[in-house]
Amino acid sequence: MSANEKREELFKRWLSPEGVKFVNEKSEKAYKERVTRIKDAIEMKKPDRVPVFPIIGFFPAYYVGLTPYDMMYDYEKLTFAFKKYVLDFEPDAHGGAIGPGPGKFFEILDYKLYAWPGHGVPKESSYQCIEGEYMKADEYDILIEDPTYFFLTVYFPRIFGALEPFKKLPRFTNVQEMYGAFTPASFVPFGLPDVQAALKAVMEAGNEALKWIGYVVAWDKEIASLGFPNFFGGGTKAPFDTLGDTLRGTRGIMLDMYRNKDKLLQAVEVVTPLMIKMGASAAKMNGNPIVFIPLHKGADGFMSTKQFETFYWPTLKKLILGLIDEGCVPFLWAEGGYGSRLEIIKDLPKGKTLWGFDQTDMRKVKEVLGDVACIGGNVPTALLQVGSPKDVEKYVKNLIEVAGEGGGFIVMNGAVIDQAKPENVKAMIEATKKYGVYK
Amino acid sequence: MGKPEDLVNALADLKEEEALKLVKEMLDAGEDPFKIMEYIRRGMEIVGNRFANSEYFISDLIYAGEILKAITALIKPKLAKGAEAKKLGKIIIGTVAGDIHDIGKDIVVFMLEVNGFEVYDLGVDVPPEKFVEKIKETGAPVVGLSGFLTIAFDSMKQTVEAIKKAGLRDKVKIMIGGGQITEEVRRYVGADAYGKDAMEAVALAKKWMGVK
């Protein structure tokens, strides 16, 4: 199949989701209208109106009077809050109930990479990354040579306290022939008590993940049956962020651009095909082409244009093109400002990507990217939290005028919504429905 | 021995090896460590100016910070205690309760320090009482509240209220900053000003302390 055929196939599966029985004709019609509206916008056609998709973090918890902690530790509460959000606000799409993740799972593994509600941050707070060098500056070669070996035996022991004994695991590629020194010797670590305890933790964590995903998947199907599609088919990361966010950390990756240039460039190349597979396989499994890619370290101010063109963009572009080849729609989520990158990122095939912006001037975005990609975003989280519904309505109306002309536009917020005034989120959705109709 | 200007320029241009070599040479030649510190301050000032002019970026500042750390480690043992250079004024800074992001805060601290301020960095997830205690302890006239998450808006508001309750509100100027901070948020929080970037923090501190 060609890339376009693969993509049409994925869109078709999204339009008629497997295993979903719509509650009635009305909900089926609404579901299909919503998916079609989003598809048309992505393909830079003019839909019936501008779609609206608020990108939600822990907002549903606060909305129903619960906490992020509740979302992570009580799956009944999770699905209740997220369902109430979708049904009360009626957005064109939702992002699933998968974001919060299972708290107990992280406890079993003694996860070190994040602080989460009730575990390093208050129960009322969202989870937050703990910056650190989870990969050392002199470990590039191990990663480059065999990323899986690096993750399993170096990275896992650092980010999961319970998997510390994985340091002792062998290289699985040593498993050759019947000769004792090759195959049986490779299995010796699995006999050690601490490794076995770690494997038990893996199984226990697996049980919890399975229990949790059951709720999340059932929720998804139920919400689809009521007429609301999930926006996301999968997710992946820009290769530079893969290295920079949770391996080397912000400080580490920034220093590597000066001190470890060649290794860094090699490493981002090595992880690129892995990141393509990460996004494409999820999209295929879920039957939805949209692959979410949050962009972090390449934002305005983080690095120079030359550094962006050297370290960030080449592998991000490869990732985007690789996903397009697999029939996916890369959804780039450009957090912070991206004004200085627009002229660079416009070098992409037309109508194949979706870009969400945070604090970038949308007039300029429309001007530069308007004939290349579907755009959206920019409704400020600050406005949603401390502004009034009137302010929000005015903002959205103006945004549609500036960036919505001719189609290829989706109303979205600029950064993930946790605490926001419900009446403001409502105003964002209602204003789109009011002012976003194409004639 | 290299000339002072060579060191200033090596630092300004982020030439790590050259800067370290020059400092070692100067120390070996018996140069007054306080004079070397002054050259370093001048070099870092240029770094700060280039950042303010968008010639330098966060990547450059982080690198400059690393170079500075390495050089300070060389010089510190040679500096006589108590002979600290005079500072422009005291500032308390921290990421507010419930938020553990520190990259933005650290950049602001760096910029304030290279501009000559004495910064009390309270770290991350700082409860309101801690800010209040530190104001009482140091008498610092400026407080900077940092936050990346939207939950920080409420924490900032609570911190300002705690300062008010302690009867200290008219003794300090409060600035806030972070990825999602806007003028609306400033009003909501009850701060005196907000800054879009680290240079605005420096400008505000200078203005409030009457530094030209």
Q: Which residues of chain A have pLDDT under 70?
A: none
Paired sense of beta strands A114-117 and A120-121, if any: parallel
Q: Give yes or no: residues B142 and B169 share one domain.
A: yes
Number of domains making up chain A: 1
Number of domains making up chain B: 2
- The answer as to whether B131 is a domain residue is yes
Query: Three-state DSSP class for A295?
Result: strand
Q: Give yes or no: residues B53 and B109 share one domain.
A: no
- The answer as to whether A313 is a domain residue is yes
Q: What is the ipTM of this complex?
A: 0.90
- The answer as to whether A404 is a domain residue is yes
Q: Give yes or no: residues B67 and B139 share one domain.
A: no
List the structure tokens of A276: 């393509």
Q: Which of B27, B52, B78 is the last residue of a domain?
A: B78
Ramachandran angles phi, psi of A119, nearest 5°: -145, 65
Q: Residue A203, Cβ neighbours under 10 Å: how many?
A: 10
Query: Three-state DSSP class for B134?
Result: helix
Pairwise CA distance, residues B96 & B85, whole Å: 30
pLDDT in tens, A3-58: 999 999 999 999 999 999 999 999 999 999 999 999 999 999 999 999 999 999 99
B64: domain CATH number? 1.10.1240.10
Domain that holds residue B131: 90-208
- Name the E strands within A76-212: 114-117, 120-121, 128-129
- Contacting residues for B116 by C-beta, under 8 A, at least 6 apart: B41, B87, B88
Q: Which of B78, B99, B124 is the last residue of a domain?
A: B78
Chain A nearest C-alpha distance from B119 (Å): 21
Residue type, A81: A
- The answer as to whether B84 is a domain residue is no
Domain that holds residue A403: 3-53+231-435
- The answer as to whether A175 is a domain residue is no
Q: Give yes or no: residues B121 and B17 share one domain.
A: no
- pTM for the complete prediction? 0.93
Do B97 and A122 lie within an 8 Å CB cutoff?
yes
Pairwise CA distance, residues B159 & B154, whole Å: 9
Q: Give yes or no: residues B54 and B22 share one domain.
A: yes
Do B185 and A126 lie within an 8 Å CB cutoff?
no
Q: Are the C-beta atoms of A85 and A263 separated by less than 8 Å?
A: no
Do A387 and B16 lie within an 8 Å CB cutoff?
no
- The answer as to whether B83 is a domain residue is no
* Cα Dmax for chain A: 75
Q: Number of A:B CB contacts under 8 A?
A: 93
Chain A nearest C-alpha distance from B202 (Å): 17
Q: Are the C-beta atoms of A102 and A70 separated by less than 8 Å?
A: no
Q: Give yes or no: residues B146 and B107 share one domain.
A: yes
- The answer as to whether A29 is a domain residue is yes
Q: Give yes or no: residues B97 and B142 share one domain.
A: yes
Q: Residue B178, Cβ neighbours under 10 Å: how many?
A: 25
DSSP code for A372: T
Do B16 and A258 lie within an 8 Å CB cutoff?
yes
Q: Give yes or no: residues B14 and B39 share one domain.
A: yes
Ramachandran angles phi, psi of A154, nearest 5°: -115, -50
pLDDT in tens, A370-397: 999 999 999 999 999 999 999 999 999 9
Token look-up 């070692």 returns B24
Q: Which of B106, B149, B188, B189 to mutate to test the interface with A (most CBs of A within 10 A)?
A: B149
Q: Give yes or no: residues B46 and B72 share one domain.
A: yes
pLDDT at B84 > cutoff 70: no
Q: Which of B63, B66, B185 sits opposite A382 (nearest CB)?
A: B185
Q: Give yes or no: residues B150 and B51 share one domain.
A: no
Q: Which of A128, A381, A383 sits opposite B101 (nearest CB)?
A: A128
- The answer as to whether A42 is a domain residue is yes
Q: Which of B52, B78, B104 is the last residue of a domain?
A: B78
Please give the C-alpha separations between residue B172 and each of A106, A407, B129, B153, in angstroms, as whole numbers.
42, 50, 15, 19
Instruction: Report how far apart the first and last C-alpha atoms of chain B are (Å, whole number).
Output: 34
Pairwise CA distance, residues A328 & A351, whole Å: 12
Q: Give yes or no: residues B100 and B203 share one domain.
A: yes
Q: Which of A56, A127, A258, A310 to mutate to test the interface with B (most CBs of B within 10 A)?
A: A258
Band (pLDDT 50/70/90 cuts) for residue B75 is confident
A14: domain CATH number? 3.20.20.210
Q: Are the C-beta atoms of A379 and A412 separated by less than 8 Å?
A: yes
B94: domain CATH number? 3.40.50.280
The full DSSP string for A61-80 is: HHHTT--HHHHHH-HHHHHH
